[in-house]
Amino acid sequence: MSGGVTTARERRARRAEERATAFSLMRNLALREIRAEYKRTVLGRVWSLLNPVAQIAIFSLVFGLLLRLPVPTGTNSEIHFFPLWIGIGVITWAYVSGSISGGMSSLLANQGLLTKVYFERSVLVVSSIVANTTTYLTELVVLVLITALIGGPAVLLYVPLLVPLLALTIAFVIGLSLMLSVALVYFRDLQHLWAIFTQIWMYASGVMFPVALVQQAQDQLASEGVLVDGQPLPLVTIFELNPTERILAAFRNIIYDYAVPSLDTWLYIGVWAFGLLVIGTLVFRRFSRNVVEEL
Amino acid sequence: MTEPAIVVDGVSKSFRVYQERNQSIKAAVLRRGRSRYTDFHALQDVSFEIPKGSTFGLLGRNGSGKSTLLKVMARILNPDAGSITMDGRVAAMLEVGSGFHPELSGRENVYLNGAILGMRKDEIDAKFDRIVEFSGVGDFIDQPVKNYSSGMYVRLGFSVSIHVEPDILLVDEVLAVGDMDFQEKCMEKFAQFRDQGRTVVVVSHGLEQMRSFCDQAAWLDHGVVQDVGPARRIVDEYADSSHAAKPVDGGGMRFGTGEIAVERIELLARDGGDPDGLQTGDGMLMRAHYRAHETIERPVLGVSIGTREGIHVWGTHGFDAGWVPERIEPGTGTIDIRIDGLPLLPGMYDVSTVIQDFRRTVIYDSLQRGASFTLQRGERDNAGGIVALDVAFGGLDPEQPIVPLSRLR
């Protein structure tokens, strides 16, 4: 090339190369996180399974045994097993919230890198989520295997549906994390605020109780005369506006019910996922340029 | 070879210096989103071109904007105005071992660090053996890097960086890495870069290094380009300007960053007595009275002697003498430099001291002509010059009688 004049083809080639290096970097950073996480622990990777098992046990005891929550029956699978039902929710929620908080703090956590090397900044956010996703995938495999033992191998017919659902979940999480990661650099309070919000969000996502319980509350309030314009308080509708509630419900639909989530659910999750991904990317592009100065 | 590799065109960059940083929501709400700050202009309308295949130095005082400019070139910082056009693949070496994870093995870290610096896996695969060999970590490559000595750690990081083999390499003060052997290897590698037509941009405080290493240089002061041109000329200009030092009360001139300073140089006879009447060949004790304003890690003290006419006669520093204290705590104290014999001709001499950091990139204090002494005529007599050498004439061939000493006086 001469005199700094670059042709469109050269520009395209350079951009393709940049994409390739960004991808390779993403892979390496994700590997770093995965490899380093359980280094020097006796049990190593087993921890990534023990953790959710312990959570499932605790939630099953508290909500299944002590509080006697109604155990949903799988529509097609006829499964009637609270620990499995709550397990899908707990593990998926842990993945979603863990990925968001990890992705969100990834810029701050890698200050040293950001101030010393140039690379596509979003790689940090994405690689952190990719690392979380691989852990989630192993957990998901275990969940499906347990489901197959309890409810029969028919679950395997529905497993392919997990691919698009997980893809939408990842898009949702990446979009939100991209936005939050730059916001956190400018407002460090966000970290603590987000921790509180996550608590509320967990309950609002129905991790440990089924929609039926919300329906019950709605009916009871209506029978007690709490009405809005002559209609019962639309608790269920509000509950289902929450995209993560829909995501958890869709995962349970596939694994616990052996059913295909409704088109309405797919569309709703899809709109949220793509919306957040687009907005997140735009926000990140706009604000990440000067992020180094704020570190 | 006049084609530019880098075109810096009207680049400006300013930073907000906050009186109170607005990083909490409460502060933002209270001040309704505005926070008090002043603009610090790190770079102001900087323009120059760096020719392809050249080794280009950026010099200037601390805070002159040279590191900021390097970071803008490396795309780490975004310019407020202007643009930088780079022709070719760029790699920045602002730090060695970026992203190294202590728990991971050297091998894993090479791949990680390589990816961070923009290499793809197949590329690292191909260069892996060379990287390990260059670093000299050998069998340790499969050990976690937390088990490495600091030297090994840095060498491995440096080795990865240098094997990126970009068209344009940006280097910040990382030349002084490892032991002498390793530094030599690095210089060789940089020379090789130049031969291959790659462009190297260096930021350094080491003026001598700049003079010998770079062929072009730019001098920045307060974010403004003072001059661009051949490295030798620019380094001299810069040295002259930065040595425009302040006169000191007790005589002499002083410059430097001032964390530690030699307040006074005391000259004594070798036994610690009165230095009056020193003769050629006598020993001398120089006592530097210093005051440190903070803890200085591994300060390197240098001493030099010059004639009144300004001829540099002799100089040495702690590195050469093998004497570098681990640290100097805040406060005052003294350092002795003992000279067993002064093989100098009679005359007036000045003593200067300098205190630098361990990498000898920062001058904390340079006291020029802080003390002086006069040497009297001694037993040995030399006719001219500066130094008194032991001489013996003889071996006249074919032989002739020699005039007796008594007739010469």
Residues A33-48: b if buried by 16+ CB within 10 A, e if exposed: bbbbeeeeeeeeeeeb
Give CB contacts under 8 A, 24+ apart, made by A82-87. Answer: A83/A56, A83/A57, A84/A143, A84/A146, A84/A147, A84/A150, A84/A256, A85/A210, A85/A252, A85/A256, A86/A56, A86/A59, A86/A60, A86/A207, A86/A208, A87/A52, A87/A56, A87/A143, A87/A146
Q: Are B55 and B200 in contact (CB under 8 A)?
A: yes
Q: Are B270 and B338 in contact (CB under 8 A)?
A: yes
Q: Chain B: residue nearest A38 by CA?
A: B103
Tokens of A45: 């990777």
Sequence spans of domains, chain A: 26-205+242-294
Q: Which amino acid is at B72?
A: V
Average pLDDT of adjacent 10-residue blocks, chain A of 295 residues: 59 83 88 82 81 87 85 86 91 95 93 86 94 92 91 92 97 97 92 94 90 89 83 88 95 94 96 97 91 83
pLDDT tens track for B147-164: 888 888 888 988 898 888
Report the distance separating Cα A88 and Cα B322, nearest Å.
Answer: 67
- Please judge whether A4 and B115 are an interchain contact, meaning their C-beta atoms are less than 8 angstroms apart: no
Report the distance separating Cα A101 and Cα A98, nearest Å.
Answer: 5
Q: Chain B: residue nearest A121 by CA?
A: B76
Q: Chain B: residue nearest A30 by CA?
A: B112
Q: How many CB pairs under 8 A join A and B?
A: 96
Q: How far is A131 from chain B (nearest CA, A)?
A: 15
Q: Chain A: residue nearest B102 by CA?
A: A36
Tell me whether B174 touches chain A (CB under 8 Å): no
Nearest to B28 among A36, A112, A187 (CB): A187
Question: Which pLDDT score is estimated for A158?
Answer: 93
Report the distance separating Cα B72 and Cα B106, nearest Å.
Answer: 30
Report the distance separating Cα B391 and Cα A198, nearest Å.
Answer: 88
Q: How far is A134 from chain B (nearest CA, A)?
A: 18
Which of B6, B23, B85, B96 would you mutate first to test chain A, the one with the most A CBs within 10 A? B23
Q: Where does residue A154 fall: left (phi above 0), alpha (psi -120 to 50 degrees), or beta otherwise? A: alpha
Which of A5, A17, A25, A27 would you mutate first to test chain B, the one with the most B CBs within 10 A? A25
- Please judge whether A20 and B101 are an interchain contact, meaning their C-beta atoms are less than 8 angstroms apart: no
Question: Which pLDDT score is estimated for B175?
Answer: 58
Q: Choose among B123, B199, B186: nearest CA to B157.
A: B186
- Please judge whether B108 and A25 are an interchain contact, meaning their C-beta atoms are less than 8 angstroms apart: no
Q: Chain A: residue nearest B86 by CA?
A: A4
Tokens of A190: 């966000």
Query: 3-state DSSP call for residue B404?
Result: coil
- Please judge whether B85 and A293 are an interchain contact, meaning their C-beta atoms are less than 8 angstroms apart: no
Helix-, strand-, coil-residue percentages of chain A, each rounded to 5 = 75, 0, 25
Q: How far apart are the first and last CA of chain A?
A: 37
Locus of tokens 């087993």: A46
Report the distance separating Cα A270 and Cα A165, nearest Å.
Answer: 9
Q: How far apart are the first and last CA of chain B?
A: 67
ipTM of the predicted assembly exceeds 0.85:
no
Q: Which are the contacts of A141, defined by CB distance < 8 A and separation ≥ 6?
A: none
Q: Are A92 and A139 in contact (CB under 8 A)?
A: no
Which of A28, A186, A287, A294 would you mutate first to test chain B, the one with the most B CBs within 10 A? A28
Residues A133-154: b if buried by 16+ CB within 10 A, e if exposed: bebbeebbeebbebbeebbeee
Question: Which pLDDT score is estimated for B30?
Answer: 64
Q: Which residues of A touch B (CB under 8 A)?
A: 1-4, 20-21, 24-25, 27-29, 31-32, 35-36, 39-40, 110, 112-119, 186-190, 193, 289-290, 292-294
- Please judge whether B76 and A28 are an interchain contact, meaning their C-beta atoms are less than 8 angstroms apart: no
How many other C-beta atoms are found inside a 10 Å radius of the C-beta of residue A61? 12
pLDDT tens track for B207-242: 777 777 888 899 888 888 988 989 888 888 887 776
At residue B167, φ and ψ (nearest 5 deg) are: -75, -35
Q: How far is B89 from chain A (nearest CA, A)?
A: 9
How many other C-beta atoms are found inside a 10 Å radius of the C-beta of residue B215? 15
Q: DSSP character for B317?
A: E
Q: Which amino acid is at B304?
A: S
**Residues of A with Cβ-Cβ distance to B25 under 8 angstroms:** 187, 189-190, 193
Report the distance separating Cα B192 and Cα B213, nearest Å.
Answer: 12
At residue B93, φ and ψ (nearest 5 deg) are: -115, 80
Contacting B residues, span 91-150, partner chain A, CB-CB under 8 Å: 92, 94-95, 98-99, 101, 103-104, 108, 111-112, 115-121, 144
Question: Which pLDDT score is estimated for B381?
Answer: 61
- Please judge whether A112 and B98 are an interchain contact, meaning their C-beta atoms are less than 8 angstroms apart: yes
The Cα-based distances of B193 to A118, B165, B199 in angstroms read 21, 8, 8
Which of B18, B76, B104 would you mutate first to test chain A, the one with the most A CBs within 10 A? B76
Report the distance separating Cα B127 and Cα B115, nearest Å.
Answer: 13
Which of A2, A32, A108, A182 would you mutate first to test chain B, the one with the most B CBs within 10 A? A32
DSSP string, B99-117: T--TTSBHHHHHHHHHHHT
Q: Choose among B182, B234, B176: nearest CA to B55.
A: B234
Report the distance separating Cα A22 and Cα A120, nearest Å.
Answer: 6
Q: Choose among A251, A244, A269: nearest CA to A159.
A: A251
Q: For chain B, which residues score pLDDT lower than 50?
A: 1
Tell me whether B2 touches chain A (CB under 8 Å): no
Q: Which amino acid is at B285?
A: L
Entry field: residues in chain B: 409
Q: How far is A54 from chain B (nearest CA, A)?
A: 27
**Residues of A with Cβ-Cβ distance to B119 under 8 angstroms:** 21, 24
Q: How far is B299 from chain A (nearest CA, A)?
A: 27
Locus of tokens 């006049």: B2
**Domain covering B246-375: architecture:** Distorted Sandwich (2.70)
Report the distance separating Cα B67 and Cα B195, nearest Å.
Answer: 26
**Residues of B with Cβ-Cβ distance to A113 under 8 angstroms:** 98-99, 116
Q: DSSP character for B142?
A: G
Q: Which are the contacts of B26, defined by CB distance < 8 A and separation ≥ 6?
A: A189
Question: Which pLDDT score is estimated for A261?
Answer: 95
Q: Count CA atoms closer than 13 A to B55's CA, side-chain side.
A: 21
